[in-house]
Homo-oligomer: A and B are copies of this chain.
Amino acid sequence: MSKIKVTIWNEFRHEKSNDFVKSIYPNGIHQQIADGISNVDFDILTATLDEPEHGLTDNVIENTDVMLWWGHCAHGEVRDDIVEKVHKRVLEGMGLIVLHSGHFSKIFKRLMGTNCSLKWREEAEKERLWNIEPYHPITEGIGDFIELPNTEMYGERYDIPNPDKLIFISWFEGGEVFRSGVTYSRGHGKIFYFRPGHETYPIYHNQEILKVISNAVRWAKPQLFREDVCPMSPALEEIKSTGDFGRAGIEQNSEGEAL
């Protein structure tokens, strides 16, 4: 079995500008995750905002099976044409794992079609992620819950579509709940949003969190890549009902535009 080609994308700004963040993620969140999920089955690449084309050249995108996405303070700086390419590739089959504040990334909002807004608070409170689907590949090896001593709070209502599967629900010390792990499929691609991971807490050093991410990579691995088409498709059976209409219509090309 060939390796899963993983690309970990990170905004990589806080880690350069803030000493506290740097102390937690000296080589960036992307590198910490890369090290943390490193595995004989994974072929891992990283890419960051300030690289040319954000590190997401056509070649990189085409050679990615599963992409991870972490962003926070610079969602607006991600180029629309690159978001477009990533979006296209997810619909063709690429897996996408969106982490924490990535809920507000252009790519996630575009795939969901909703605002992806939520309540939030940064008080370093306790979070407990309850495992709602212990049978699911994403929770393989995870117990009843994962406890994080200090986290930023995200609370409902989280403006997302009804998920295919609700995998984790978080309890927060301050009184909120949150759908912290949700799966979707869009086009031929599988998507997992996973809440944990603020830049000011060492959450990506937590072995259970890394285990979930690692499981999600395996789960999101594409079965196939397929380009989008909208083909005129000849009849498979004889048609006898045309009546007075025949082919009176206006011809349509594959983009649905009249010819």
Give the complex CA separation of A177 and B176 in angstroms. 10
A127 and chain B: residue at smallest CB distance? B241
Query: Which residue of the partner chain B has the closest CB to A75?
Result: B256
On whether the beta carbons of B101 and A256 are closer than 8 Å, the reply is yes
Any B CB within 8 A of the CB of A104: yes
Which of B93, B113, B249, B251 interacts with A112 by CB under 8 Å? B113
The listed residue (B125, B135, B224) touching A134 by CB distance below 8 A is: B224
Q: A246 — nearest CB in chain B belongs to which residue?
A: B124
**Hey, which chain B residues are within 8 Å of A149, CB to CB?**
241, 243
> How far in angstroms is the closest Cβ of chain B from A256?
4
- Bound together, the chains give a CA A126 to CA B173 distance in angstroms of 13
In the complex, chain B residues whose CB is within 8 Å of the CB of A161: 161, 184-186
Across the interface, which residues of B come within 8 angstroms of A170, CB to CB? 177
A162 at the interface (CB under 8 A from B): yes
Q: Is A57 an interface residue when CB atoms closer than 8 A count as contact?
A: no
Given contact pairs A162-B185, A245-B150, A249-B200, A123 touches B239 in the complex (Cβ within 8 A): yes
- Majority DSSP secondary structure for residues of A touching B: loop
Q: Identify which of A2-10, A39-47, A48-56, A229-237 touches chain B.
A: A229-237
Question: A210-247: contact bitstring with B at CB < 8 Å (1 yes, 0 no)?
Answer: 00000000000011101011111111110111110111
Residues of A within 8 A of B (CB): 14, 18, 20-21, 72-76, 91, 93, 101, 103-104, 110-115, 117-126, 128, 130-137, 140, 144, 149-150, 152-153, 155-157, 159, 161-162, 164-166, 169-177, 179, 184-190, 198-201, 222-224, 226, 228-237, 239-243, 245-252, 255-258
Between-chain CB contacts (< 8 Å), 28 pairs: A21-B250, A72-B252, A72-B256, A73-B258, A76-B257, A104-B230, A104-B255, A110-B113, A114-B186, A115-B228, A119-B233, A120-B231, A120-B252, A121-B234, A123-B242, A149-B241, A149-B243, A150-B243, A156-B169, A159-B187, A161-B186, A171-B177, A173-B237, A174-B237, A176-B233, A198-B249, A200-B248, A200-B250
10 other A-B residue contacts (CB within 8 Å) besides A123-B239, A171-B177, A200-B249: A72-B256, A111-B113, A114-B186, A117-B229, A120-B230, A123-B247, A140-B223, A150-B245, A155-B233, A169-B179
